[in-house]
């Protein structure tokens, strides 16, 4: 059975740099608070109309395809991970298929937030291993800036997120012990509401004790989005930050060790850990807990903020471009996020 290897990788971030100081025009915040709590110095925001989640994903994809030595016409499957799609439906995958003038190949969208790219990679890995496809394009992209609460009310969330995209092309390899060694996916929906964007949605507060009185007499069509939902900021992401922190620092090490254990390896064997760039404090906590050195962990949240599904491929691409990942290196990708969902992938580069 073939294994999958990352044959090409690319990233794209908008040119527009937004510093912590820039955010003080919109909300009561400051550079010291943001840096101390999250490590973030600046992030990129997409152009309002010219850059979308899909167009950023496309730019990253074009680089990945070229570096893989292939063409868009050779891609036989697309997997696109995002929580900020261009349209509520259809997903971004078909927009990529159209824009790159691909054959009528399958296009799958993944909604697993911060773990989205790893879920997407794992799905693509299975299709390569079974021999079903030979060139799979996997994209993680986000345009968070379109939907954050930039008032002081939303400051605990909005300062964290940024825009960008990363992509890889997976191909089969017969080289023994090379490529993706294993992937590991998990979820625990018990805390689904503590890192979530509730609306637009079809739940009608089914999962919470919140009253829904306003809508008793409303036609079904009006229940989807209302002024009340907007007044209560339910069209913006909600996060119980401390609760997320507590779970993340347990599940990150657990899923990294799971990947290492399954392959008979230990943390000292790792050349590079690429954690989802949730928060620098989370990455540092995980590093310390696992006894990893600074050289074994790559962080770039300082420059880009948290780009959710794009953060792992952006960090992986940057680390590789900087020569920090070389042929034969053992690389672990790991993510934790909304759902909760968490995941890892162990790769012999």
Contact stretch for ligand ACO (CB under 6 A) within 47-55, 138-146, 241-249, 325-333: 241-249
Helix (H, G, I), strand (E, B) or coil at 179: strand
Cα 72 to Cα 75: distance, rounded to the nearest angstrom: 5
* Residue the block writes with tokens 């229940």: 223
Output 160 or 330, the one with its CB closest to ligand ACO.
160
Out of 20, 92, 135, 276, the active site residue is: 276
Out of 92, 112, 114, 135, the active site residue is: 114
Options 22, 26, 29, 329; binder of ligand ACO; rule CB under 6 A: 29
* HSE value, Cβ hemisphere, 13 Å, CA-based, for 49: 0
Output 58 or 333, the one with its CB closest to ligand ACO.
333
Options 160, 229, 331, 347; binder of ligand ACO; rule CB under 6 A: 160
Ranges within 184-223 binding ligand ACO (CB under 6 A): 195
Helix (H, G, I), strand (E, B) or coil at 163: coil
Cα 305 to Cα 40: distance, rounded to the nearest angstrom: 6
Output 159 or 197, the one with its CB closest to ligand ACO.
159
Write the interaction track for ligand ACO spanning residues 46-85; mark x where CB under 6 A is met and - where it is not.
----------------------------------------
Is 186 exposed, middle or buried, given 0-12, 13-18 or 19+ CB atoms closer than 10 A? middle
124 binding ligand ACO? (CB under 6 A)? no
Contact stretch for ligand ACO (CB under 6 A) within 39-47, 68-76, 170-178, 242-250: 242-250
Beta strand 330-337 with 341-348 is antiparallel
Tell me the longest C-alpha to C-alpha distance in the chain.
Answer: 64
Closest by CA to 293, choosing from 270, 263, 311, 321, is 270
Options 2, 106, 147, 241; binder of ligand ACO; rule CB under 6 A: 241
315 binding ligand ACO? (CB under 6 A)? no
Output 8 or 116, the one with its CB closest to ligand ACO.
116
Q: Is 199 part of the annotated catalytic residue set?
A: no
Cα 312 to Cα 48: distance, rounded to the nearest angstrom: 24
Q: Is 156 part of the annotated catalytic residue set?
A: no
38 binding ligand ACO? (CB under 6 A)? yes
Kindly determine how many residues on this chain lie close enough to bind ligand ACO according to the rule CB under 6 A.
23
DSSP symbol at 2: P
Output 201 or 241, the one with its CB closest to ligand ACO.
241
Output the smallest distance, CB 282 to ligand ACO, in A: 6
Alpha-carbon torsion (19, 21, 26, 30), positive or negative? positive
Q: Where are the alpha helices (DSSP H) in 235-331?
A: 241-262, 280-290, 301-304, 311-321
Closest by CA to 42, choosing from 59, 19, 65, is 19
Options 16, 35, 156, 262; binder of ligand ACO; rule CB under 6 A: 156
Cα 65 to Cα 74: distance, rounded to the nearest angstrom: 9
Closest by CA to 118, choosing from 346, 338, 335, 340, is 335
Give catalytic residues, as residue numbers.
114, 276, 306
Residues that bind ligand ACO (CB under 6 A): 29, 33-34, 37-38, 114, 155-156, 159-160, 195, 241-242, 244-245, 248, 278-279, 281-282, 306, 336-337
């Amino acid at each position: 059975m073939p294994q999958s290897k990352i044959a090409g990788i690319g990233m794209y971030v908008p040119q527009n740099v937004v510093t912590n100081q820039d955010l003080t025009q919109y909300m009561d915040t400051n550079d010291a608070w943001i840096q101390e709590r999250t490590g973030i110095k600046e992030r990129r925001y997409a152009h309002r109309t010219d850059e979308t989640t899909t167009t950023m994903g496309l730019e990253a994809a074009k680089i990945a395809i070229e570096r893989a030595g292939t063409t868009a016409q050779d891609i036989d499957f697309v997997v696109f991970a995002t929580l900020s799609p261009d349209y509520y439906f259809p997903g971004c995958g078909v927009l990529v298929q159209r824009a790159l003038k691909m054959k009528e190949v399958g296009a799958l969208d993944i909604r697993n937030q911060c773990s989205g790219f790893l879920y997407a990679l794992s799905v693509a890995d299975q299709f390569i291993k079974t021999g079903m496809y030979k060139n799979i394009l996997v994209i993680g992209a986000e345009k968070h800036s379109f939907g954050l609460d930039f008032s002081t009310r939303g400051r605990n969330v909005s300062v964290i997120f940024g825009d960008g995209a990363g992509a890889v092309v997976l191909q089969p390899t017969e080289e023994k012990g090379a490529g993706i060694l294993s992937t590991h996916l998990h979820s625990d929906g018990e805390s689904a509401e503590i890192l979530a964007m509730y609306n637009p949605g079809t739940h009608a507060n089914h999962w919470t004790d919140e009253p829904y009185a306003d809508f008793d007499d409303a036609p079904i069509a009006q229940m989807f989005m209302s002024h009340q939902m907007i007044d209560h900021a339910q069209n913006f992401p909600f996060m119980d930050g401390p609760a997320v922190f507590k779970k993340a620092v347990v599940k990150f090490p657990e899923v990294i060790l799971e990947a290492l254990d399954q392959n008979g390896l230990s943390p000292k064997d790792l050349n590079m850990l690429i954690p989802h760039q949730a928060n620098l404090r989370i990455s540092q906590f995980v590093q310390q807990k696992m006894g990893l050195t600074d050289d074994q962990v790559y962080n770039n949240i300082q420059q880009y903020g948290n780009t959710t599904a794009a953060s792992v491929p952006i960090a992986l691409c940057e680390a590789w471009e900087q020569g920090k990942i070389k042929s034969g290196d053992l690389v672990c990708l790991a993510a934790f996020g909304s759902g909760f969902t968490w995941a890892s992938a162990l790769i012999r580069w």
